[in-house]
Structure 1
Amino acid sequence: MSQPENQLRPNVPVSPEPLAPFPQEKPDTLRKIAFDKFMKNKLAVIGLVVLIIIITAAICAPLLTQYNPNNQELLKKLQPPGSEHWLGVDTLGRDMYTRLLYGARVSLLVGFSSVTVSIIIGTIVGAIAGYYGGRIDNFLMRTVDVFLSFPSLFLLITLVTIFDPSIDKLILAFALFGWTTTARLVRGEFLSLRSREFVLAAKTMGVKSSRIIFSHILPNAMGPIIVTATLNVGIIILAESALSYLGLGIQPPTPSWGNMLQDAQSLTIMYTAPWYPIFPGLMILITVLAFNFVGDGLRDAFDPKMKS
């Protein structure tokens, strides 16, 4: 009889085969998470694409039209849209398509410049108030309350009535009353961040307060600031259009979407050329909606409590 097979083999220890290492995936960064959330918001992506198209068209306006925005052809005034003038001609014979392109430049310039100035002022005030607290916080926040107590619309109308309305004065006027919301928002963020471990560690190491504010805390508060800035651009564009519609904003012959609507107040034009106010009004609507969609998408992307 043959011996069992396990008795014929010598007792040689068998070394276990090495296990294949598990693939280690890099953890997603906050930027990637925010980007993925934003891209999943279809309205935000559509709004971003629309804004890119509008901004590109405004920058490349001289390349997209052969007409001068202030060139008048009185014999063709109120000519309806056609092959020669795609969007028609206004009351002074100026090409509407060309004036829409150049008007986008003015409206976007006022919006972006006003928001940039107001964001800078509001961020500095809110950061100082939220970081230091105490009497400095009380003084700065009472100053914010004073600005908020004034009716901004009436003050804007008063300012542009007293001074000759121009682009730079409109930017300063909008920035003067637009920084208060940003200051309160930044102050709240700094109040919640100044007691975090990384801030306490920086203080323990003797880092200067200015560096802690701008290098440690402010980058962690940029999400809400970017969202507020995006939403405020649409608000400023709408406010500028309203003032220009009333004749208190950008003055002709400089084109803006608001003063292009000014002639639409005439009932004669509404009956003879009903298409005339549609195009500038549609551009204001599309642009403001696009900024609001992008702002909502950024808010959802930067808010960790929001589910994608």
Structure 2
Amino acid sequence: MNPHDQLAEPTPAMTTADAARVENALRQLAPKWTTHFVHTIAKYGPELRVRDVAHHHPAINQPYVSKRLAAMADARLVNRDATFDRWAPYRLSSGARTLGPLYRAVAQWSSEHLDRPPQGRSDRIEDALRRLHLVDTTEVVRLLSEHGSMRVGHLGERIGVSEQLIATRLNHMQADGLVARTGSRHGAPYILTDAGRALAPVYAAVQQWDHRHSAAPAVRMPAAARTLATGADTARTAAALRRSPAPTGLFSHAPATQPRVPAAVTAASRPSHGR
């Protein structure tokens, strides 16, 4: 048998610690203009000064561009040598240069599963990352993927937050098209929408990128203390990421049976475009 015809080994199901790592990585990539600036430096670089980046984005002023690039440097997405030149140009880190597979997975998920996403590729990616990076979103998706449906109180117990807090987060996820309630009565369980169930390739791409560019252990931390700890990037890991397709079996456990949701309820859970 041709080895290429053999089925790939199933990807282990995502754990709570994995969900925390994914969430931390998404939080570094989600701030507005981050994707735009990565694409701008990649297209017009390899190095650009603040004023050069601002030139390509006339809708925002130069001080704001400088502030966002400094935040991106703290996240190790860009770097510069400003020891002798405070106007030194920024260049993409090796981690940022390997964001292509992650961005492609996010853009494809957005195009296929979100209701009327923005048309521009960078805008579409940033819109999707905005929906996915909020605290505990990844863990909610993981739990609903595993259990099929769960009530607010049960989700709060499993995640370790109050019922009121998790209810607020679920409202955001419902507005963003990731979850839906199975009925209109108070306490009705939540399930994943089609968009939520299709997130496995996105999370796999985030994990692959993070594992190659972060030295942080996969440990779940309190929400207030969650940060992304990144380590030194290498050419070898960057090349490996380019060669490795993102697996689609992240939720490798047997899919839980999904309750039927009335059409009116599903329609109400579509993404909000005003936020």
Considering only CA atoms, is the larger Rg found in Structure 1 or Structure 2? 1
Give the number of the structure whose residues are more often strand, by fraction. 2
Give the number of the structure whose residues are more often helix, by fraction. 1
User: TM-score with structure 2 length normalisation?
Assistant: 0.27
User: TM-score with structure 1 length normalisation?
Assistant: 0.25
